[in-house]
Amino acid sequence: MNRRLAVTAAVLVWVALGALAGEPSCPRLEGHWGWGGSYAVGTGGRFGIFASGATLVLVDFPGGSELRELGLGRVDGWPTDFVISGATAYVSVQSYGLEIFDLGHTGGPSLLGPWGSTESPRALAVDSEHAFVADGVGLRVLDVSEPRRPIEVAALDLGYEGGGYDVELNGHYAFVAAGYDLVVVDIQVPEDPFVVARMALDGYYPLLALDDATVWLAGGEPDLVAVDVSEPLLPHRVGGLNLPGIEWDLDAADGLVYVAAGPTGLQVIDGSD
């Protein structure tokens, strides 16, 4: 997923992820922000944004453990995912759709353009001109080249009644967690996406993260599964691991896998082997 972790404590907690590459077993607490419960977090460049209910809190990170509030905004529902690109934030909102915000606006996130959908948007990924939304239908593609007027240009049914649950992009492909399947979609022509591979999973896996040529899936049995996608048309499982707790969110980068596991806390797994 984009750099976000579900936070279940009463405060926003951020961890020195840069230090984890050298010592992944000892992440350290850098600070917290007492805004109450938060369930979606996104970072990009100097900005951070998190949701406390329907309120968006925009912050920056001047350095060390300091966290500075820049302003507040609101979304029309329960945010499920964030992507930050430059000074623009893309927010998927449960039972509403997608909302795009200008983060450079004085006073807090300023709404640029909404796109409405009732199909339970759950996750999104963004490239330079398109947003890819995993929802109750499957995968939707939006043209966001004009942020004030996001336009749906394609909708792909993934063949699973629950639709898509999570999505990551790599080159011309989108990798989608679709319940009991990992689905690979060709997005070279965003207006005409199509399924090029489908791998059946031994259970229900709604969480997905991509690190280089490995897709990580969480939520089933075993709790964490690694899939080699170096050849996107031939995805195959290469490992699995059981974890304590219940997986709420998942991210991966530089050979490390980060799992937000509810009351069990943040778990860091060395996935380089």
pLDDT score for 31: 57
Q: What is the pLDDT of residue 192?
A: 98
The structure's pTM equals 0.84
Q: Which residue has the higher pLDDT, 153 or 244?
A: 153
Mean pLDDT of 123-149: 95
In the structure, what pLDDT confidence band is assigned to residue 108 with cuts at 50, 70 and 90? confident
* Rounded-to-integer distance, Cα 34 and Cα 87, Å: 24
**Average pLDDT estimate for 105-127:** 87
Give the model confidence (pLDDT) of 175-202 as tens digits: 999 989 999 999 999 999 999 999 999 9
Handedness of CA 44, 48, 49, 52 (dihedral sign): positive
The region that residue 228 occupies, defined by phi over 0 for left and psi between -120 and 50 for alpha, beta otherwise, is beta
Q: Within 10 Å of residue 24's Cβ, how many Cβ atoms?
A: 19
Pairing of strands 97-102, 88-94: antiparallel
Q: What is the pLDDT of residues 17-41, one digit of tens each?
A: 444 444 555 555 555 555 556 656 6
